[in-house]
Amino acid sequence: MSLGIKQLTDDHWNKAAVLTKYAVGTTHTGIVRNLTNFGLFLELEEGIDGLVHVSDLSWTKKIKHPSEFVKVGEELQVKVLELDVDNRRLALGHKQLEENPWDTFEDLFPVGSVHKGTITNKIDKGALVELPYGIEGFAGNKHLTKEDGSEPEMGESLDFRVVDFSKDDKRIVLSHTASYREVEAKRTSKPSRSSSSQSSGSNEAERSTLGDLEALSNLKEQMKQDEKKN
DSSP string computed for 103-119: HHHHHHS-TT-EEEEEE
Dihedral, 37, 171, 96, 72 alpha carbons, nearest 10 = 30
- Report the amino acid identity of residue 102: W
* Structural domains counted in the chain: 2
Q: What is the mean pLDDT of the chain?
A: 82
Q: Give alpha helix (H) positions in 42-192.
A: 102-108, 177-189
Residue 77 lies in a domain: yes
Tens of pLDDT along 41-78?
Answer: 999 998 899 999 999 999 888 899 999 999 999 999 99
Check whether residue 75 and residue 30 sit in a common domain.
yes
- The predicted pLDDT at position 33 comes to 96
Residue 204 lies in a domain: no
CATH number, domain containing residue 24: 2.40.50.140
Domain that holds residue 119: 102-186
Q: pTM for this structure?
A: 0.61
Tens of pLDDT along 170-217?
Answer: 899 999 999 988 655 555 555 555 444 444 444 543 443 344 445 445
Percentage of the chain beyond pLDDT 70 is 75
Q: Which residues pair with 48 in a beta bridge?
A: 45
The count of other CB atoms within 10 Å of the CB of residue 6 is 9
CA distances from 205 to 46, 140, 197, 200 (A): 92, 53, 12, 9
